[in-house]
């Protein structure tokens, strides 16, 4: 009698484990399906599970292809020395000057670039944002062929104490 009860417990445990596994897989399929871009005309829930997985696979392959194309485009824009050598037909021969000033929790970033280096400002804004600083004001002035950019930001309280140092380091590294 003891062996029969252990067999039924074991069988029940296996059924429960299998049910939990199926529920977990169903949740994962649902999560994958929600991440995949779908056409408005097709209802994703009406597709059989194998078709949903095929659609997700195709979508991921399409994204990988897009990433490769963008990498190739970037590589064609970046010169041998690692600097952007040609964007929209402009040669980036003008140096980029960067100054970072800290005033308590405030940071001022000053960029001096040529007219063809508009992307430098965008990259500087991205770096400031990634280092947990909130941009309060950003402006620029053009004098001849020189552009003066100014970014004023406030370091968030949750940022590390090395926030300004990291911003400075990353901006200088970018400008090299």
- Distance (Å, rounded) from C-alpha 65 to C-alpha 58? 10
Q: Which range has highest mean pLDDT (36-50, 69-83, 131-145)? A: 131-145
Question: pLDDT above 90 covers what percent of the chain?
Answer: 15
Instruction: Give the pLDDT band of residue 80 (cuts 50, 70, 90).
Output: very low
**Is the pTM value of this prediction over 0.85?**
no
Task: Look over the chain and give the mean of its residue pLDDT values, rounded to a whole number.
Answer: 78
Listed range (112-116, 140-144, 149-153) with the worst mean pLDDT = 112-116
Closest listed residue to residue 138, CA positions, set 159, 153, 118: 153
- According to the model, what pLDDT value does residue 150 have? 92
Q: Report the pLDDT averaged over residues 130-152.
A: 89
pLDDT at 87 over 50: no
Provide the CB-side half-sphere exposure for 5 (13 A, CA). 2
- According to the model, what pLDDT value does residue 176 have? 61
Comparison of pLDDT for 162 and 41, the residue scoring more: 162
- Distance (Å, rounded) from C-alpha 152 to C-alpha 140? 12
The CATH number for 86-175, chosen from 3.30.565.10, 3.30.70.260, 1.10.1060.10, 3.40.50.150, is: 3.30.70.260
Q: Report the pLDDT averaged over residues 90-110.
A: 75
Instruction: Give the pLDDT band of residue 91 (cuts 50, 70, 90).
Output: very low
Contact between 124 and 94 under an 8 Å Cβ cutoff? The reply is: no
**29-63 pLDDT, tens digit each:** 888 888 876 654 455 557 788 888 888 888 889 99
Comparison of pLDDT for 24 and 160, the residue scoring more: 24
Tell me, letter by letter, the H, E, C secondary structure of the chain. CHHHHHHHHHHHHHHHHHHHHHHHHHHHHHHHHHHCCCCCCCCHHHCCHHHHHHHHHHHHHHHHHHHHHHHHHHHHHECCCCCECEECCEECCCCCEEEEEEECCEEEEEEEEECCCHHHHHHHHHHHHHCCEEEEEEEEEEECCEEEEEEEEEECCCCCCCHHHHHHHHHHHHHC
**Where along the chain do its domains lie?**
2-77, 86-175
- Distance (Å, rounded) from C-alpha 133 to C-alpha 158? 10
């Amino acid at each position: 009698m003891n062996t029969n009860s252990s067999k039924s417990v074991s069988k029940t445990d296996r059924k429960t484990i299998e049910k939990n596994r199926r529920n977990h897989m169903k949740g994962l399929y649902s999560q994958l399906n929600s991440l995949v871009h779908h056409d408005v005309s097709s209802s994703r829930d009406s597709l059989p599970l194998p078709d949903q997985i095929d659609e997700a696979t195709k979508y991921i392959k399409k994204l990988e292809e897009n990433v490769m194309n963008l990498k190739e485009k970037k590589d064609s824009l970046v010169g041998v020395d690692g600097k952007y050598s040609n964007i929209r037909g402009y040669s980036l021969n003008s140096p980029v000057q960067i100054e970072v000033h800290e005033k308590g929790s405030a940071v001022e970033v000053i960029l001096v670039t040529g007219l063809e280096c508009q992307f430098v400002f965008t990259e500087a804004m991205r770096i400031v944002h990634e280092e947990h600083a909130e941009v309060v004001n950003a402006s620029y002035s053009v004098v001849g062929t020189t552009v003066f950019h100014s970014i004023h930001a406030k370091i968030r309280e949750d940022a590390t104490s090395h926030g300004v140092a990291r911003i400075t380091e990353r901006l200088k590294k970018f400008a090299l």
